């Protein structure tokens, strides 16, 4: 069995046990959230030992070289000597403003002390009172603030705090940015499909504006789905953006309700495929509820979109919400 040395203690891992689970089993209160190698909150550093590639998947090269790894995804085959990460992996942020975008979605704009390199569509993990949650970035880097769209979840620790208690000037810690769901220049004529439900719009709102800012010439179709009309937000902004950019089509879709006022009725996957049955040659971005993202990825692929052209972020809830 592999062993880990941490703060002068030698811990033996159980078979197939991750470093994070072993540390928690031994009573170390290691911060964690998704337990899926996504949020980055359980980041640790290894001084010696061989790290399995999965423990560093998606990480920037400079961090890999310095021995950082996600402890939730690390099931080592040999002994490791590990430590907590330093302050250099975390950023201090201040809430610049808060604004309701709909009945249950709040926009939070966060300001960093130092300029932060990020791409619209990536996500950050904010940490407060030992609770870490990831949120997608809706803003563009030159807006100098991180814009997040946070849906209120009943009983939700982080979203509840943002909706009920947070105020401008409050400070938090943040990990990231992370993720690869963002616009890349180079194929400006390629048709783009952006689809999401609920706050899955947050990364798409950033990506669509990034594509337009980079003079994307191909058609862009943005589908935003919700159960009812009240679940859609930024509708007027997006309609205005589509009027200014004739190659952008914005299609708000509702599951319940009629087709009045330009809202299409039906499940988002059917709405997309009715309009664009053949997606060969398209690039796609899908974000939001994990099961919708999974369904969409499958259907886009079966309709001709190459898997290398599908970029997705599933909003996986925390593994340990309470």
Ligand X SMILES: Cc1cc2nc3c(=O)[nH]c(=O)nc-3n(C[C@H](O)[C@H](O)[C@H](O)COP(=O)(O)OP(=O)(O)OC[C@H]3O[C@@H](n4cnc5c(N)ncnc54)[C@H](O)[C@@H]3O)c2cc1C
Choices 79-87, 151-159, 234-242, 270-278; region in contact with ligand X by CB under 6 A: 151-159
By the rule CB under 6 A, 156 interacts with ligand X: yes
Find how far residue 181's CA is from the centre of its chain.
8
- Asked if residues 71 and 43 have their Cβ atoms less than 8 Å apart, the reply is yes
By the rule CB under 6 A, 163 interacts with ligand X: no
Choices 9-17, 72-80, 145-153, 166-174; region in contact with ligand X by CB under 6 A: 145-153
By the rule CB under 6 A, 160 interacts with ligand X: yes
Q: Which of 23, 31, 34, 226 binds ligand X (CB under 6 A)?
A: 34
Q: Which of 102, 107, 134, 292 binds ligand X (CB under 6 A)?
A: 134
Q: Which of 157, 187, 229, 247 binds ligand X (CB under 6 A)?
A: 157
By the rule CB under 6 A, 107 interacts with ligand X: no
| CB burial string 144-163: b at 16+ within 10 A, e below | ebbbbbbbbeeebebbebbb
Cβ-based burial of 122 (10 A; exposed 0-12, middle 13-18, buried ≥19): buried
Q: Which of 155, 169, 186, 277 binds ligand X (CB under 6 A)?
A: 155
Q: Which is nearer to ligand X, 155 or 246 (CB)?
A: 155
Q: Tokens standing for 301?
A: 């692929």
- Asked if residues 96 and 145 have their Cβ atoms less than 8 Å apart, the reply is yes
Please give the Cα distance from 45 to 81 (Å, whole number): 9
User: DSSP character for 196?
Assistant: E
Q: Which is nearer to ligand X, 267 or 317 (CB)?
A: 317
- Strands, DSSP E only, in the chain? 3-6, 9-12, 43-48, 68-70, 80-84, 90-100, 105-112, 123-128, 131-136, 146-151, 171-178, 192-197, 220-226, 248-254, 264-265, 283-288, 310-314
| H helical segments located in 11-144 | 19-25, 61-65
By the rule CB under 6 A, 318 interacts with ligand X: yes
By the rule CB under 6 A, 158 interacts with ligand X: yes
By the rule CB under 6 A, 305 interacts with ligand X: no
By the rule CB under 6 A, 306 interacts with ligand X: no
CB of 234 to ligand X, least distance (A): 13
- Asked if residues 294 and 314 have their Cβ atoms less than 8 Å apart, the reply is yes
Choices 154-162, 168-176, 189-197, 267-275; region in contact with ligand X by CB under 6 A: 154-162
SS3 state at 254: strand
Report the candidate in 117, 255, 257, 277 with the shortest Cα–Cα distance to residue 197: 255
Q: Which of 41, 85, 199, 303 binds ligand X (CB under 6 A)?
A: 199
CB of 10 to ligand X, least distance (A): 33
Q: Which of 133, 216, 221, 297 binds ligand X (CB under 6 A)?
A: 133
Choices 86-94, 222-230, 235-243, 312-320; region in contact with ligand X by CB under 6 A: 312-320
- Asked if residues 273 and 303 have their Cβ atoms less than 8 Å apart, the reply is yes
* Residues numbered 212-271 forming contacts with ligand X, rule: CB under 6 A: none
Q: Which of 41, 71, 136, 197 binds ligand X (CB under 6 A)?
A: 136
By the rule CB under 6 A, 45 interacts with ligand X: no
- Asked if residues 85 and 44 have their Cβ atoms less than 8 Å apart, the reply is yes
Q: Which of 159, 197, 292, 303 binds ligand X (CB under 6 A)?
A: 159
Where on the chain is the footprint of ligand X (CB under 6 A)?
Answer: 34, 38-39, 123, 133-136, 149-151, 153, 155-160, 199, 202, 313, 315-318, 321
């Amino acid at each position: 069995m592999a062993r880990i040395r941490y703060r002068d203690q030698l811990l033996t891992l159980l078979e197939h046990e991750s470093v994070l689970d072993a540390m928690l089993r031994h009573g170390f209160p290691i911060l964690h959230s998704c337990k899926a190698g996504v949020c980055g909150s359980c980041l640790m550093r290894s001084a010696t030992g061989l790290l399995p590639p999965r423990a560093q998947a998606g990480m920037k090269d400079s961090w890999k070289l310095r021995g950082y790894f996600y402890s939730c995804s690390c099931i080592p085959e040999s002994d490791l000597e590990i430590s907590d990460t330093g302050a250099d992996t975390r950023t201090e942020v201040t809430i610049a403003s808060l604004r309701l975008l709909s009945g249950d979605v709040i926009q939070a704009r966060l300001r960093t002390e130092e300029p932060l390199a990020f791409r619209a569509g990536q996500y950050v993990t904010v940490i407060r009172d030992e609770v870490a949650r990831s949120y997608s970035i809706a803003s563009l880097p030159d807006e100098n603030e991180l814009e997040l769209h946070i849906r209120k979840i009943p009983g939700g620790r982080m979203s509840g705090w943002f909706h009920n208690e947070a105020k401008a000037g409050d400070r938090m810690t943040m990990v990231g940015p992370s993720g690869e769901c963002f616009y890349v220049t180079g194929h400006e004529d390629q048709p783009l499909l952006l689809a999401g439900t609920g706050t899955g719009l947050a990364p798409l709102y950033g990506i669509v504006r990034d594509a337009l800012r980079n003079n994307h010439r191909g058609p862009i179709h943005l589908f935003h789905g919700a159960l009812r009309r009240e679940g859609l937000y930024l509708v007027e902004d997006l309609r205005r953006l589509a009027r200014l950019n004739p190659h952008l089509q914005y299609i708000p879709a509702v599951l319940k309700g009629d087709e009045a006022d330009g809202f299409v009725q039906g499940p988002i996957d059917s709405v997309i495929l009715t309009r664009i049955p053949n997606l060969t040659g398209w690039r796609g971005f899908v974000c939001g509820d994990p099961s919708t993202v999974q369904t969409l990825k499958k259907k886009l692929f079966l309709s001709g979109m190459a898997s290398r052209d599908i970029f997705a972020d599933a909003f996986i809830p925390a593994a340990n919400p309470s």
